Structure 1
């Protein structure tokens, strides 16, 4: 203890200088927009780079499960191809149409990315991916995984992006019951990372345990029909007009390796139109 006190007394002026320097930098960042944006972009890039190095080591131990996920995804794609064959649409024609259509004729494109960091045990969980502005990533782009919805991009640097997942109490997903098309908002209560709650579904709607919940398509972030979860249970509380619906999420956030970023090619057009309506 005496040694610590002697150290503090001997380096009092230097420590005071560091304290005042840190306080000055904090004030500059907090009260100047340009410096604040530059600081957060730089810190996000540095943090993401560290996560990438750590993830390159840990991901080695999950290769077997990642391969299983990729095999399952390939199986689903093959099933869709078979359905196209059965509908008498030549597969080559589908590919040619997709490759020759201009981006603006396709509302949504998908950009493959790898997860370099992901949290799921906090109240406000985020995911970080290894694609950024250099790859065409922008804020407000949706993030989906092999099983369904993951999150949304809110912060981007040159080579990385990050954003909240479904397991974040500040974010909600516009969702609907696939069989009935009744829609509401899906939110996480901060408790179990495997379950969320679908709100605003009227009590007269017919549903069953096991019904699939998908994206509604009413937002600019996700296409309609992206899987979200499965109804685990539901209850009509007395005196309320809406169901309490517990949804088991399809995405396994404890083992999330690869995702796709949803790029809405019509987003600027939609925003311009909505801005015009806001002035009326």
Structure 2
């Protein structure tokens, strides 16, 4: 208490000045319309600016949650789509009886679904090196295993080669040691798509015969001839192609659909038939 009194005694004139200043401002604002409008406009501007900064911060954290929820939903929908792709209902197999208004459609069998998809967040990703890798925040505890494909919003990203309990890592398509089987959409002609280590936006599609018809802008998708990715996952679009003399194949440049500089969430493709396929392939090699 004595300290407070000593403080007031020492700063009496300064505190009195502040009090009178506040009273003066109040009188001016209350009895002068122009000054009152200017005062409230200024205070509203400051308040709005503070609220804007606060909302930006809260929106940032809310956006992270929203993105995670969207990643979960995309994985669920991709799994569901893969399930329905396994079911084909020809028209003549439907029970079309005269006068019957409703048809009994076949319900997809979950045992037929070859791939499930696990959503994950990217925690590390390189794209300016010759051998680029990605790390995600899902591991063996989440069902992730080696040789599972990684798919982003644009399409193919890479493959899992190392797994811990809570994380997984592997090369991306921007890695000169890794390639993926791909084909021209709506075509049975497939080849090997690989990166040449030059442009992080462009890869090369090899082994496409020169008699195959194609156009710039055609979509390149996974062929489905591997255990890693389902058929039809987007990879890129044809940017240009030419036929070098003396060669039987096109030289095709493919602009990748995945933006590796802005990759936050991915999905892991889990092949439910992998063990069965491996066992079957082992039988062929033993013959």
Name the TM tier (shorter chain). Answer: 0.5 to 0.7
Gaps of 5+ in 1: 1-59, 81-86, 88-92
Alignment-derived partner of residue 178 in structure 2 = 171
Equivalent residue number for residue 151 of structure 1? 158
Q: How far did residue 180 of structure 1 move?
A: 2.2
Give distance in 2, aligned partners of 1:180 and 1:153.
28
Taking the TM superposition and a 5 Å limit, the aligned residue runs for 1:18-37 are none
User: How far has the Cα of 1:147 moved from its partner?
Assistant: 1.1
The answer to whether the aligner puts 1:242 opposite 2:252 as a matched pair is: no
Could you give the per-residue CA deviations for residues 35-81 of structure 1, whole angstroms, max 9, x where no partner exists?
Answer: xxxxxxxxxxxxxxxxxxxxxxxxx69x59x96xx59x98xx7xx9x
CA distance, structure 2, for counterparts of residue 135 and residue 208 of structure 1: 42
Q: Deviations over 1:230-265 (max 9, x none)?
A: 000000001100000000000000000000000000
The residue number in structure 2 matching 1:12 is none
1:124 paired to 2:124:
no
Secondary structure of the structure 2 residue equivalent to 1:150: strand
The question of 1:204 aligning with 2:214 is answered no
- Across the two proteins, how many residue pairs are aligned to each other? 204
Structure 2 partner of 1:135: 142
| Aligned mates of 2:187, 2:232 — CA distance in 1 | 12
**C-alpha separation in 1, matches of 2:163 and 2:278:** 20
Q: Which residue of structure 2 aligns with residue 183 of structure 1?
A: 190
> What is residue 274 of structure 2 aligned with on the other side?
267
1:276 lines up with 2:286 in the alignment: no
Match in the other structure for 1:195: 202
Structure 1 runs of 4+ aligned residues shifted over 2 Å read none
Which of 1 and 2 has greater Rg?
A: 2
Matching of residues 16-95 of structure 1 within 5 Å: none
Give the C-alpha shift of residue 179 in structure 1: 3.0
Point out where structure 2 has 5 or more consecutive residues left out of the alignment. Answer: 1-59, 82-88, 90-103
Native 8 Å contact 1:139 1:155 kept in 2: yes
For 2:29, the equivalent position in structure 1 comes to: none
| SS at structure 2 position matched to 1:224 | coil
TM-score (norm 2): 0.65
What's the offset of the Cα at 1:97? 4.9
Q: TM-score, normalised by structure 1?
A: 0.66
- Cα separation, 2, equivalents of 1:242 and 1:223: 25
Q: Is the 8 A contact 1:179 1:211 kept in 2?
A: no
Aligned to 1:112: 119
2:225 to 207, 213, 218: 218
Question: Deviation at 1:106?
Answer: 1.4
| 3-state DSSP of counterpart to 1:248 | strand
RMSD: 3.2
